[in-house]
Amino acid sequence: MRSDLIKRGVERAPHRSLLKGTGNFHDGDLNKPFIAVVNSFVDIIPGHAHLDKVGYFIKEQVRTAGGVPFIFNTIGIDDGIAMGHLGMKFSLPSRELIADCVESMIEAHRFDAMICIPNCDKIVPGMMMAAARCNIPMLFVSGGPMEAGKTQDGRSVDLINAFYAVTQHAAGELDDQALADIENHACPTCGSCSGMFTANSMNCLAEALGIALPGNGTILATSEDRRQLYADAAKRIVELALADGPKPREILTRAAFDNAMMLDMAMGGSTNTVLHILAIAREAGVDFTMKDIDDLSLRTPNICRVAPSAGKDGRLYHVEDVQAAGGIMTILGELVRGKPGLLHEDAMTVTGKTLGENIREHDIRVRNQTIRRDGLSTSKRSELSVYTENAEAGGAAVLDDLDHNRFDPLDCIRTVEQAYSPEGGLSVLYGNLAEQGAVVKTAGVDPEMLRHSGPAVIFESQEQACAGILAGEVKPGDVVVIRYEGPKGGPGMQEMLAPTSYIKSTPALAKTVALITDGRFSGGTAGACIGHVSPEAAAGGTIGLLRPGDMIDIDIPGRTLSVRLSDDELAERRKQWTAPEPRCKTGYLAKYTAMASSASTGAVLQWS
């Protein structure tokens, strides 16, 4: 075992003495594998506020299963709390810090295996990147998704409703009481926010990647059924450690990344998954590009739409609804039934079975069932969770819909024959405005905005854009351009949830205005919002050459993003362009600015 290097032999007596000082190691543990319980407990993030309880529960279960567990924690940044101010610049860069810190702990202490407990945004991919680097047996088990909230009049709400409410309140459409109602109920429990935003997208993709047990992405954080998932994961990581595999690079193959992105296309996940999957694939040594992702999108139907993307008649489903309809394995099962040969069913997973075997075992429709109630929280919530007084009256909002026959599982997770579209929920666009590509969440775009042309209204930062949109500088038909917000220019690719929410919640703009940026979007973004425009403005990309009034053409079905300027005009403007001074010249962001790569390659750090 790797851990023998720090626990065996006369010369390791000092090491054993230190280990015994922790209370976690005894003489009888010499032949047992050392398991890193890689936790991410921080109590300022609702997705992580309960992970102290979860971490200690998993530690106990690892010990019971025959391993020697040691907990360490990573940092975590809450994108919602960091949104709209300087803090958001640190969000994406924190992914690299997490990867580096996990790698450092694993290698310095020679762990035999690692069980990762992430939940939100950058923490999930950061840990995945580290797992791929270290290449020791690993397993991911997230803290689970948040329950959807319910206002006093019974409407299901989530965090995005709170962002929309800001604009609606400013416009006089909501009074103080209505605003407070949404504020108090949008996030009623611990867990990753209840829509298919970035955190839940990544936790769901972990099932398709093969690095998490079925149920990881959709069993609610407050459900007692999650306790069993934690116990199963703890037992399984000890088995993987004793067998010394399969290891991450045996699981994180090209087939696994294909499967993950096909799931993302099928369920219309966050555009941020593109950034993260590219970065994880790079760490795993797999050649995987934005072009590959778009090719998969062209072959994968969009059969599930979850908030912020609307379903039939404008209905918003949440992750708890996806669980009630069968979960991730049922989404994948519909792909297997409707498009045989699309998924790589022979891809290996941490269960010791192939993805195809996992699907056949856990897809409820294989058993001719359409509804499942397990994995949903009831009024008796798990002791391994945290919830507010606003959640005490009842459990998951979908339970009431199930009891009153208001929930159609075959609409929540559709068959391929009834797909929203024959192509995936994400698209990659190219053109003279995005020579290396740009990404759009097609599943969240209104049909009338799939093709759009309009004059550019240019803002040099997210903050400037927010002020301009609220001040009425954007008119119906415009294309909002927010630039110098890329990996280097931002730095750190701030999420654009505030300006996109302002547009989406303004009726005159919601279905008439597009937005493009070299920054990125929250998984909660909906509308004709195109991000990751590459090359970015700070690297001399065409987006930095635009001038107010330039006509921009967007054709999402045709996969193009262009500006109506000749090559000669662009060449002339490029001669006149000079790179701006870096916005950050000290601290971590200065280092990130110097080393960050393009969004088209995952915005990873490069130093050679």
Catalytic machinery residues: 522
For residue 437, what is the enclosing H or E element? strand 434-440
Amino acid at 164: Y
DSSP bridge pairs for 242: none
Q: Is the dihedral of CA 220, 221, 222, 223 positive or negative?
A: positive
CA 443 to chain centre: 16
Q: Is 292 helix (H, G, I), strand (E, B) or coil?
A: helix
Other C-beta atoms closer than 10 Å to the C-beta of 309 total 24
Q: Which two tokens stand for residue 367?
A: 């058993």
CA 499 to chain centre: 20
Torsions phi, psi for 2 (to 5 deg): -55, -40
The two most distant CA atoms of the chain are separated, in Å, by 76
Query: 541 Cβ partners below 8 Å, 6+ apart?
Result: 435, 486, 518, 533, 534, 535
The full length of the chain comes to 608
Following DSSP, what letter does each residue of 516-582 receive, concatenated? EESSB--TT--SSEEEEEES-GGGT-GGGG--TT-EEEEETTTTEEEES--HHHHHHHHHH--PPPP
Other C-beta atoms closer than 10 Å to the C-beta of 22 total 8
Q: Say if CB 102 and CB 130 are below 8 A apart.
A: yes
DSSP bridge pairs for 440: 427, 530
Of 465, 520, 546, the C-alpha closest to 122 is 520
Of 323, 410, 319, 329, the C-alpha closest to 362 is 329
User: Residues 4-8: contacts with CB within 8 Å, 24+ apart?
Assistant: 5/110, 6/109, 6/110, 7/34
